[in-house]
Amino acid sequence: MTSTAERTMELTLPMVEDIEIAAARAAANLARELGMSSDKIDEMTHAIVEACINAREHSGCADNRIYLRFAGTSDSDESRIDVWVTDRGRGFDPEEARKHRPRPGEAHKRGRGLQLIEAHMDEVDISTTKDGGTTIHMAKVEKKNG
């Protein structure tokens, strides 16, 4: 089994309109280099978009920055990308957010960001503390045939 060296990338982005697209495109470029399929890349980019929007809309951070880190590897068995989206804002209670979100398939206008992230990614974990910021770590894994 030959594994590629881990490819990493870090970005610090201002919280301005549509900045989530820049983050998504950077991750998509890395995923393409690793040979990930377009459907998997699309799912990952939609999750990154939602994570960045959550940071921009809800973090209330003073520095108005989103910190992103990407790490990708590929071998004969699978390609994998890990993404960390961090803000230095007020934090939130993920369990409380999950408790109040609508059920899947129920039409609801807001509050779907975390649900979409969890649906589109293979692994999601959230580190958040009151006034200590939030990091959403998520991973996309694609198994290879044969």
Quick check: 43 binds another protein (CB under 8 A)?
A: yes
Alpha carbon of 126 to those of 75, 92, 109: distances in Å? Answer: 27, 10, 23
Tell me if 87 contacts another protein by CB under 8 A: no
CA atoms of 35 and 50, how far apart (whole Å): 24
Select from 11, 22, 71, 141 the one that contacts another protein (CB under 8 A): 22
18 scored as a contact of another protein (CB under 8 A) = yes
- Say if CB 134 and CB 91 are below 8 A apart: yes
Nearest to 11 by CA among 52, 60, 66, 82: 66
Strands (E), 92-132: 123-129
Among 42, 63, 78, 122, binds another protein (CB under 8 A): 42
Give the residue, chosen from 2, 5, 96, 109, that forms a contact with another protein under the rule CB under 8 A.
109
- Give the shortest CB-17-to-another protein separation in angstroms: 5
Applying CB under 8 A, the span of 37-45, 73-81, 83-91, 128-136 interacting with another protein comes to: 37-45
> Using the rule CB under 8 A, is 24 a contact of another protein?
yes
| Cα–Cα distance for residue pair 24/42, rounded to 1 Å | 9
Q: In angstroms, what is the minimal distance from the CB of 127 to another protein?
A: 22
Distances (CA, A) of 124 to 16, 47, 48, 70: 25, 10, 11, 14
Nearer to another protein, 61 or 121 (CB): 121
Q: Kindly list the residues in this chain that would bind another protein in the complex (CB under 8 A).
A: 16-22, 24, 39, 42-43, 45-46, 49-50, 53, 102, 104-110, 112-113, 115-116, 119-120
